[in-house]
Amino acid sequence: MINRVNINNIRNFHTCRTLLSGHSKWATIKHKKAANDAARAAASFRMSKQIQVFAKMGGADLNQNIMLANAIEKARAINIPKKVIESAIKRGTGELKSTEKMETVVYEGLAPGGVAVIIEAITDNKNRTIGYIRPCFNKYNLNMTPTLYMFDKKGVLLIDIGNKTSDDIFEEMIEIGCEDINEIENNSNEEELISKQVDEGNLIELITDPKDLGKIGKILKEQGYKIKEMGIEYLGKEDTMVEINDEDTMISYEKFMSLLDDIEDITQVYTNLKEE
């Protein structure tokens, strides 16, 4: 149960603990590919498209377009060449003419186990993209049906707060306009962290109004917090979350999600599967 604290009868602000492994939001629901050569190539392609769209939406000024700035940092972290990044920005701003007309599209449906899914894709050909996605549903006799009503659209940031705790930054996050704060428990063992060369402090997930995401992200950077992830996401409403308790159904669910993973146009998949 999530404990809610009313702040001046205006905003419900709560803290809870989220696991960064297993079926957690950050490890499974977003369904990122494993770190192998093919996956890195796909990630590079997807990141380039995201950079292009962010540049188109907010311009090339990194001081004003915090989502573009964050995307570029992530691109550099996975060693995407500088020339690729610069070309993606120029295509987005129109400085570099391109025959591609990238747009963001959203698809809805039900996965095995009655799990609602929201699929985001960036594509220059919607007919091609739906032609890849629909067979994933057909294979498991599933329906592409409206599910957006089961989700809230929110701004989400994952930040590294070093040695601080959620209690230490609680008031500070209220002041800058955050709606919710969640502690993220990283269940990776020490050997995994060493092998990945990860040096992380305490991770905190912040939930904001979508229109405040850029402003809050900019404030956090100015205050010295390291933003590891940020974006506008679909979060399952608490009263719609579902569980999968049957092993065969879970296997089908994972296979279905794996099919979606293999579609390069897809950038994110959100579900209302309840975390373990």
> Which pLDDT score, from 0 to 100, does residue 46 have?
79
Helices then strands (H, E): number in the chain? 8, 9
Distance CA(120)–CA(50), nearest Å, equals 11
Residue segments in the chain with a per-residue pLDDT below the cut of 50: 1-35, 188-198
Please, what's the b/e burial string for 69-100 (b: 16 or more CB within 10 A of its CB; e: otherwise)? bbbbebbeeeebeeeebebbbbbbeeeeeeee
CATH of domain 32-100: 1.10.10.200
> Which pLDDT score, from 0 to 100, does residue 37 have?
54
> Which pLDDT score, from 0 to 100, does residue 172 have?
92
Give residue for tokens 């590294």: 160
Equal CATH topology for 32-100 and 103-150+238-271:
no
> Which pLDDT score, from 0 to 100, does residue 100 have?
67
Structure token pair of residue 207: 């939930």
Distance CA(180)–CA(14), nearest Å, equals 5
> Which pLDDT score, from 0 to 100, does residue 216 have?
93
Q: Is the dihedral of CA 90, 91, 95, 97 positive or negative?
A: positive
> Which pLDDT score, from 0 to 100, does residue 6 have?
32
> Which pLDDT score, from 0 to 100, does residue 53 have?
85
> Which pLDDT score, from 0 to 100, does residue 104 have?
87
> Which pLDDT score, from 0 to 100, does residue 195 have?
38
CATH 3.40.640.10 fits 103-150+238-271, yes or no: no
> Which pLDDT score, from 0 to 100, does residue 153 have?
94
> Which pLDDT score, from 0 to 100, does residue 12 have?
41
> Which pLDDT score, from 0 to 100, does residue 242 have?
95
Domain ranges of the chain: 32-100, 103-150+238-271
